Structure 1
């Protein structure tokens, strides 16, 4: 029997997406092209045995793709592809959805077998009271150092005593403050108090996240940015903790000192503060808030500095100030 119009290339891959083996695909293509054929005719066309052909046809019948055998001699015929394939596709989709639903179960088994320690390395904490208590436990357990990115949202202000106790027992504390945090009411006085007790404090216009790192043991940071601290991630000793520590060091080296004095004129100390803030990328408005003066005063100081340095631009002023030893 011949089947005009059906090439070997056309036979291959017709039903591959449904998981039907290639020999059955070829058999289906022959039945589809012939319309109606006996097992012996199909076996001759497929160049295989009748028993093997009947096994393939039986498999195709279980998929609903062929009908038969019917009549005398018994013939096989193809079911209408639009109906048969639609039903087969729906069953396949249901199987895939059931499998997808079990991915979580499989992943739990995978993690349990390969990385039983993962849950011990990262912990998600929810609720402001719970986060505050965990932070207190971490801070009070510090032995060598405490590193912090101070950025809103804050759980509380005004209590510098716990940090003073840390400093008194020899814990090194370094903090980088976001400029908006420094400008909060009463915040400058609080920072000045802990700096006087021994904290090393620096400042940047913007920080990537709120962060606290205790020794080489723990890090605490928000789950997501936002106006409220609703969830936090506790990271224990791991490569992730090492990466967070490296990020802190990179921002620390870029940061500038926190201004702690006020003046109506750019005295030498104030001049250094002004140049430092300018070099760190602060705007005139931000500098004015940090130094407690008006933006117009800052602009006047900048012009005076540029004139004194013989610079036409702020960039040139920075270079000339560095050469003059002002920075």
Structure 2
């Protein structure tokens, strides 16, 4: 109930107990609450940091600050933080509005932008630019075959370029478990294309002839709309991003690479996500796997590293040069 003020369940329980039993020390409090003494000490450290307990001037090991004083002060501090965050959010909203205005449609202008809205418009745009391709199509897409995601199919049959147009697609490792994705990759190979896989992708992306790039307006809703980037430095940066990811990819037609004793590319990605503090659900979304699978991989890695926390796992992985 008091987590928003910085007190987790154990810390709140210890605080409540000391309010009614101020004479009790660590051992007595631990017995009363059925906790380990180490848990009580951590709770006391947290309460001290929040100025809710301090060394007693008189009898008793600690002085516990009454809630009408200590908690009200925390509430006031939290309200100030929320007000400051609201101010920053308002400034960010204004910046986003300015950026949106700058991304006005600019067809036939190079360099420039165009925006399209709605999943059908996105599909039509992707199909059109693939048909117009002259030399190459580069794709970053989570899946390996047609689905509800307009970027999921690296090369839908109905919009396939000519055979002299080279197509390279990078998908997630998870597509290796999909018969449809594998069949789609075979069709792509028959048309002269290549597919590689990586553990995670930073963005959905289609680049055609190095002259334009298409990526979602909203990364969480790829069908909501798309930005078309024509030429310029941004396109060059996106092309370099694709080449970097392509070099890290593993051919879908071959087995996954692995060095004995070292984590594979998926495990390395999970370790990077752990170090960043991502939850299992967030990791699963980035890897294109179930939350249960992400949780299992995280648990196994933490055991291998002898880590008790996600942050510790990331730090130990960095020490071993695994990430």
- TM tier, smaller: 0.3 to 0.5
Q: TM-score if structure 2 supplies the norm length?
A: 0.44
Larger Rg: 1
Q: TM-score if structure 1 supplies the norm length?
A: 0.43
